[in-house]
Amino acid sequence: MRNYSRWIEITDMRISLRSGEKIYINGAVLRVDRKVSLELLNDATFLLEAHVMRAEDASTPLRQLYFIVQLMLMDPTDGAAREMFEKSIVLMIASYENAEIIAGLQNISKLVGTKRTFDALKAIRNLFPIDAQIMTGGKIAVPTRAA
C-alpha cells in the first residue's frame, strides 16, 4: 500500500517535486522537467503521481470505487465518473453484508454528495483492511518473506 500522507487539502503549502514527477491539482496535471518547489497560495486539492491508484490495482469492488472517486478528484468535470460512482455505490450497499462496510459506503455516498471527494477517498481507504479480509474468506493475509 502506498503512503498517502501527501494527498491533502492545502492552503499556503510548499510542495517539492523531483524531475519528471507529475502532480494533479484541482483537475489539472502538471509535470516538472527539473527539481522544483511549488508554493500553493490558495485552497487546492492535490495528488502526487506516486499516490495515484492504477486501473490494474483496482482489483476489488472497494478498490474499483476508490479508482472511480479518484477520477472524480482528478477531473471534477468528468460526468461519466460521477455516473459510475452513483451506480456503483447503490449496487455495493445492496450487495455487501458487512455492517461496517455498509455504514462506510453510506458515509462515502454522503461525502461525495457534499463534494468532499478527498474525504471520501480517505474513508474508502479505511475500508480496505475489511475488504481484504472478506476477499480472503476471513483470513488475514500474512506477508511472505524472501529467504
Residue 139, pLDDT score: 59
Of the CA atoms within 13 Å of residue 120, those in its CB half-sphere come to: 27
Cell digits for 78?
468528468
3-state secondary structure of 119: helix
HEC sequence for 44-73: EEEEEHHHCCCHHHCCCHHHHHHHHHHHHH
Kindly report the pTM of this predicted structure: 0.74
Of the CA atoms within 13 Å of residue 130, those in its CB half-sphere come to: 16
Residue 96's contacts (CB-CB under 8 Å, 6 or more residues apart) are 102, 105
Residue 65, pLDDT score: 97
Query: pLDDT tens-digit profile of 22-77?
Result: 988 877 889 999 999 988 888 777 777 877 899 999 999 999 999 999 999 888 88
